[in-house]
Amino acid sequence: MLLFIVFAPLVTALLILLGAPARLTALLGAAATAVAALAGLFLYDAARGGFQFVSSFPISESWRLQFLLGADGLSLLMLFLAALVLLCAVWFTPPIEKSERLFYACLLFLASGAIGAFASLDLFFFYAFHELALIPTFLLIGIWGSGNRFAAAWKVTIYLGIGSFVLLLGLILLYRSVPPELRSFDLRALQAAAAGGGITLRAQSQIFFLLLIGFGVLISLFPFHTWAPEAYASAPAPAAMLHAGVLKKFGLYGLLRVALPLLPDGAHHWNTLLIVLLLGNIIYVGLVTLAQKRLDWMLGYSSVMHMGYIFLGIASANVIGLNGAAVLMFAHGISIALLFALAGEIRRRTGTLVLSDLGGLGKVMPFAGFAFGVATFAAIGLPGFANFAAEVMVFFGAFRVGADWQGFHLLQTATLLALWGVVISAVYMLRAYRSIFMGEINDRWKNLPDLSRTLRLPIILLVAATLVVGFFPNTTLRVLRPTFPAPVAAAHP
């Protein structure tokens, strides 16, 4: 099953480049991938836990390198997120005027990079699959983007390239830090070696710092975040959906899959730095988001801001906080993908995303207004949506650290400050909704068409996903519980 999920988008992209009908083939391939990923969630045996659906193909015995796939609850949740957002991104793709085949192939290759990384148990392919997504990201922004797309394409490529290089250094040091007789690219073997004390405290500290910076650049951790808003504002909507909703989660997934389990003492050593930086994401970037005058830039900064909440769950390093971080990765991916999809449709119909130029669109685009309102409520974490369930777990997990009531712990203080981010996000999201869909309508927009019936189905799929997880969070926690059975790093600064 995992082989199918990983290779279906790749094969679909190749078929399109070889002459198959681009849109139809992409939709069929994405739909098949989404169905298989959903089946994986239901077929996963949570009582047994661990990695399941394992497939292994030896490549080099001397290097102990093999193409190794396997998935636990965290992997399967991310695979379903990637497949669902890919399906909706393809569905939301408008008519492409130039190089249509290449456009759809790039979308599929971008998704394939994330899907392959989430399913890989081999450290080499975990890294290599992510690198697969960098070239299509550059092409999607540089060829089909808008605004200052060439500068944005180069900026995102340089930032992500530097982050990937730092990450590669950290992964090489991680491999070299294990005793020679225990060295392997197999993440399960590395976890066993780390659990047996095979990585020294000094090495853990050095390696975790490199992984934090490398993954942090890919996630847009403050202050390495400036590439993200410009890239998402310039990218075509389907590319922004996939990158902000899925590929950015690779760095968070890497921290949860590699850095924390293998380097718990290193995580403890750098936890104070992580707390300070995540507050930069939530407070500083949140205030910057308030100042944005364009919807695309506002959504870009909003995506960066919400990474801070996931980092807060990771910093807690306890069961409830880590589960909350994992659910929030899924919830944010769904909500931001929906918002970028709607922003793309608004731009296609009006030619602008400047908030002051819009207004009153709810009168002519009622379904779009309703969908944007639902996405807004999800993004700011109203009860009933997946974001709310996830953020509650993150806040509870972070605040309970060191809860002896004899004085505030650093993480508790950070949690109280982070709560103000909820207020900030409510302000800029509701203000954007009012500016776009309420008030007097400009004469230019009085004849705008609403979203077509064909575009309503992907919206319903995304809304249904966030509502199901919001009302029934145990649907995801059932498979996530075996992934985080105990605190990863019990001690905190």
Q: Residue 370, by phi and psi: left (phi above 0), alpha (psi -120 to 50) or beta? A: alpha
pLDDT for residue 440: 86
pLDDT at 489 over 80: no
pLDDT more than 70, % of the chain: 96
Query: Does 320 fall in a domain?
Result: yes
The average confidence (pLDDT) of the chain is 89
pLDDT of 429 over the 90 cut: yes
Residue 425 lies in a domain: yes
Which pLDDT value is given to residue 329?
94
**Beta carbons of 337 and 303 less than 8 angstroms apart:** no
Per-residue model confidence as pLDDT tens digits over 249-298: 999 999 999 999 889 889 888 989 999 999 999 999 999 999 999 999 99
pLDDT of residue 492: 43
At 310 the pLDDT is 94
Q: Is residue 94 a part of any domain in this protein?
A: no
Give the residue-averaged pLDDT of 213-220.
92
pLDDT interval class at 136 (50, 70, 90): very high
482 part of a folded domain: yes
Contacting residues for 54 by C-beta, under 8 A, at least 6 apart: 68, 69, 70, 121
Q: How does pLDDT run across 169-189, given as a tens digit for each residue?
A: 999 999 888 888 777 888 888
Question: At residue 236, does pLDDT exceed 50?
Answer: yes
Tell me the C-alpha distance between 246 and 468, whole Å: 19
Q: Per-residue pLDDT averaged across 196-216, rounded?
A: 88
Give 486's pLDDT tier (boundaries 50, 70, 90).
low
pLDDT at 199: 81
CB neighbourhood size of 27 (10 A): 17
Residue 449 located in a structural domain: yes
> pLDDT value at position 493?
40
Rounded distance, CA 486 to CA 493, Å?
A: 19
The residue among 334, 359, 331, 332 whose CA lies nearest residue 346 is 359
Q: How many CB atoms lie within 10 A of CB 291?
A: 10
Quick: pLDDT tens for 395-414: 998 888 644 434 457 888 88
Domain that holds residue 439: 283-493
Q: Note the pLDDT of residue 356.
A: 86
Cα 31 → chain centroid = 20
When divided into structural domains, the chain yields a total of 1
Q: What is the sign, positive or negative, of the torsion defined by CA atoms of 190, 195, 201, 205?
A: positive
How far is residue 160's CA from residue 144's CA, in Å, rounded to a whole number?
19
Residue 488: the pLDDT is 52
Interval 54-99: pLDDT, tens: 888 887 776 677 888 999 999 999 999 999 999 999 999 998 888 8
Model confidence at 428: pLDDT above 70:
yes
Residue 244 is assigned to a structural domain of this protein: no
Residue 391 lies in a domain: yes
pLDDT tens for 326-350 read: 999 999 999 999 999 999 999 988 8
This prediction has a pTM of 0.92
How far apart (Å, rounded) are the C-alpha atoms in residues 168 and 214?
A: 8
Is pLDDT above 80 for 490? no
Residue 304 lies in a domain: yes
pLDDT for position 183: 78
* Region class of 69: left (phi > 0), else alpha (psi between -120 and 50), else beta: beta
pLDDT band at 5 (very low <50, low <70, confident <90, very high): very high
